[in-house]
Chains A and B, each alone.
Chain A
Amino acid sequence: MAAGNESDARRTTVQRKSEREVVVTRTFDAPARLVFEAWSRPELFRKWWVPRSMGMTLRSCEMDVRTGGGYRLVFGDDPANTMAFFGKYLEVVPNERIVWTNEEGGDGGSVTTVTFEERDGRTLLVLSELYPTKEALDAAGTGAQDAMHETFGQLDELLAELAAR
């Protein structure tokens, strides 16, 4: 399928490499410095990080993308009911690599490594999430799903309220 080649190259692949690690790959049609830029400048990062289908509002996005720096993402429509994701950047090599921790989950937190490999003007992105235990990884898998259910549930409630007016 000739028409499928372009989309195949851009296809997101996910592999569970071991009990504790998931690896995601994707190719971007741009040099590594641009992919890194979109990943490291908060005003750009917030434009793409939250999948629209998840229906979550990113209230604030603080990122200090350098080795030893930290980040904090706060989600939620209602100021009284927010959810924060935060952690530290363990290693940042501009245009090549970002490694960060995910600390909101306590001991179950993962370490994420993203590498950008440029080849002929395109960039292969490899993202690895390493969890301390296989239980933590299994929980993270369903966690995203639960969060979506919760968000849609809240939306349902809101719509019902609006309809009742």
Chain B
Amino acid sequence: MVQYSPERLNASFAALADATRRGVLDELARGDASITALAGKFGMTLTGMKKHVGVLELAGLVTTEKVGRVRTCRIGPGRLEEEMEWIARYRRVWDARFEALDGVIDELKREEKARGRRKRK
């Protein structure tokens, strides 16, 4: 059984709830970047980008390292495994429901077809 820590889940889902932060993750998946470069890419002030990176850092999705005067960001150790499991559990319930719904719908389709044939005769 996967252990869930609600604080971590909250932090990472909150981090992922923002389009810019998802964009930053996409960008970092392609390669490390400085906060200045990220700010430029997303048309944002340095302060604004620092805040976004801070949220991602708290969630473990990004790590930063200051080299000289430049702060470099890279993909962090958070592998989103807990998040995936949270979603998978949700999906299993809906998957099971929808498979059964397929069965009911097939029955309705057959009934409809049978009615159509009778009408034509």
With A30-B108, A38-B105, A51-B93 known as contacts, the answer to whether A16 contacts B13 (CB < 8 A) is yes
In the bound complex, CA of A72 to CA of B17 (Å): 33
Partner of A14, one of B14, B90, B106, B112: B90
Which of B16, B89, B94 has the most CB atoms of chain A within a 10 A radius of its CB? B94
CB-defined contacts of A12 to chain B, threshold 8 Å: 91, 94-95, 98
Pairwise interchain contact B4-A28, C-beta atoms closer than 8 A: no
B76 to chain A, nearest CB (A): 19
Partner of A24, one of B13, B17, B94, B102: B94
In the bound complex, CA of A48 to CA of B97 (Å): 6
How many residues of B are in contact with the other chain, CB < 8 A? 32
Pairwise interchain contact A48-B104, C-beta atoms closer than 8 A: yes
Pairwise interchain contact B105-A30, C-beta atoms closer than 8 A: yes
A65 to chain B, nearest CB (A): 15
With A30-B108, A38-B101, A47-B100 known as contacts, the answer to whether A138 contacts B6 (CB < 8 A) is yes
B115 to chain A, nearest CB (A): 13
Residue of A nearest to B100 (CB): A48
Q: How many A-B residue pairs have CB under 8 A?
A: 91
With A12-B98, A48-B97 known as contacts, the answer to whether A19 contacts B91 (CB < 8 A) is no
Partner of B109, one of A14, A18, A19, A34: A34
B103 at the binding interface (Cβ < 8 Å): yes
Partner of A38, one of B83, B93, B95, B108: B108
CB-defined contacts of B94 to chain A, threshold 8 Å: 12, 14, 24, 26, 127
B39 at the binding interface (Cβ < 8 Å): no
A157 to chain B, nearest CB (A): 21
A69 to chain B, nearest CB (A): 21
Pairwise interchain contact A18-B105, C-beta atoms closer than 8 A: no
CB-defined contacts of A155 to chain B, threshold 8 Å: none
B96 at the binding interface (Cβ < 8 Å): yes
CB-defined contacts of B108 to chain A, threshold 8 Å: 30, 34, 37-38, 44
Residue of B nearest to A148 (CB): B93
CB-defined contacts of A19 to chain B, threshold 8 Å: 10, 13-14, 17
Q: Interface residues, chain A, CB within 8 Å of chain B?
A: 10, 12-19, 22, 24, 26, 28-30, 34-35, 37-38, 44, 47-54, 127, 134, 138, 141-142, 144-145
Top 9 A-B pairs ranked by shortest CB distance?
A51-B96, A48-B100, A48-B101, A14-B91, A30-B105, A18-B17, A38-B104, A12-B95, A34-B108
7 residue pairs from A and B, CB less than 8 Å apart: A16-B17, A24-B91, A34-B112, A47-B103, A48-B101, A48-B103, A138-B9
Q: Interface residues, chain B, CB within 8 Å of chain A?
A: 4, 6, 9-10, 13-14, 16-17, 83, 86-98, 100-106, 108-109, 112
